[in-house]
Structure 1
Amino acid sequence: MGSLIGHVAPGLGFLVIGLWHLYNNLRLLALKGPSLYKSRPWFPSDRNHGLPRLLELYLIISGCTLAVSMELFISPAKHQPLDSDGTIPSYHLHNFEHSSISLSFIAYALSALALDQWASASHRRIPAQHDVLYFIAALSFAQEFLMFHLHSSDHMGVEGQYHWLLQLVIFVSLSTSILGFGRGNGSFSVAFVRSLSIVFQGVWFVIIGFALWTPGLIPKGCFMHVVDGRTVVGCHGEESLNRAKALVNILFSWILVLLALFAASFYLFIMIVYGNATVKYSAVSEEEDDDEDDIETPKKTYNTCAGTQGFVSNKV
């Protein structure tokens, strides 16, 4: 992860998953309304568009597996991260830390895949299935947060400021995943913030990759140099360092403002596209709705184009 591609690649992964969750949560709100809204820890793809139903889980597993391979086997000069005596050298500790983050997300995706396949094969509902997955997702974000907070690499200076702000965003993802337990998955606000925090993680990872490994983007008074085999950014004096950190803070605040504008615009767009449609859905109990795979199932009609929200039975 200590390179441009090592930050940009996972950043794009977080960005895609975050946008996918944001789209589906807004679509659910538009189709079912706030009273019947219920989020999910992951969202199946639409078979009608020729996409695999479990595409999200496949992307997480494949992307994280590639990240582990890059950290432990492809990037190291010996194509393996161990010393001649079988121990982990200090300059490869960060590779194992980054791999641990990826492994935690692989565990989450495999758990979701196993629960889904078990439910499909047995044709039975698994109680509190989504609560278990929210818990595992929270553990994954907790792992990510702790690894960046307790990183073996000396994340000081400009790089440290980028990673400190990243931890704030990860903490939001962690908190909203915890709030997803139980009745929390019926809160649009929790799911909305969680989706945006994952998007923000992706955007910030991409920015870190370009900002710290592109010579033309290094702040004035700072420079790139190699320390213990890693390319890091150093600064000439305290004044240059403080200026560089302040620029990072300003950039973070600007991205936050742009993300808020994007969220409001995207919300309005989805409400316009789906909010005026007459959508059929299944009226089920809260427990059964937890394990629904489809966002809409024909049984009843929810009409949002009228001035008031109402439910119209299909029975004649």
Structure 2
Amino acid sequence: MGLKLFRFFLFFGTIVLYSCSEKITLPAKFSSQLNYCAPTINYQYDSQFFPITALDSFLLKNPEISQNFTQHDILVANAIGVLPTLQKILTLKKDSSLSVKLEKTNYKLFIQKRLLITATAIDGLASEIDCEGERADQLAGYLDNLNDKRNRRLTVASIIAGSATTVATVLLDNGNAQNLVGIGGGLLSATLGGLTAFPSHKKIVFKHVRNILTDIWQAPVSSNVYPPSIWYMLNDRHFSNSGNQTILANIKNRWISYEFEGKADLDEQDLLFKTGGMYKADDLHSRANLLNQLQATIRSLHQDLYSFSLHLNSLE
């Protein structure tokens, strides 16, 4: 009887461990989903409103701009593509005729329209980033729930194994059998309980062909994901609080310090910054954190637009 009970414990343990195994989880409703956060169309940007690359040369030819605007406002105007229009307003500044006033008003309205377009671009990009973060959080929650169920099953199984071992050793009258069952049941109970201390490695397929994190990490000269105006602001160091590094570099440095603890290994980089792959819950939480930090930074660009708008409205 003792040998039969010992075999029962082995069989019971095998069943429980199999049910809690770290098999890859591929629910169709998640693994095959499309990226519903990406824009439904490709944006077309008018090249005449791209930031001027030879900015110093333009300012040398039009010194009145530097005389009337701060460096920060000049950079914002360049980002939204209105430096030539700003120069036209300043050229007409001394003329107080009604027709010129009307012309200056039209120029200002045009600049305000460009400000609105850029503000809308910031909001649209921030919304996409927010959606991507929620998407990662949703799947992370799904895996967290699976892992919680695993730990509950292991805990219950450990209690059952311990209780069964106690009852069996009391009922058995053979010393060797008692020892055999006690050792087997104790080992099983300890193993099941100990497994709850180790994290689960269940994974799920998560794809992001349009990866909004990639350009921040790789820092290319131009971006196919970020609008030219926003990409310009992210890549000019004068838009950052310190003025020493670009906003883009600051974002990446914060990611490395807080999310990667000083260094991101190549497998982690491939997973987070390419087209996706097999994600664990921790990986999904990390992606959501990166996206949340990025979203906050993108939204803060509204402050730059607001500052320039105030100065623009103060012009006579």
Which structure is larger by alpha-carbon Rg, 1 or 2? 2
The TM-score normalised by the length of structure 1 is 0.28
Higher strand share: 1
Q: Using structure 2 for the length normalisation, give the TM-score.
A: 0.28
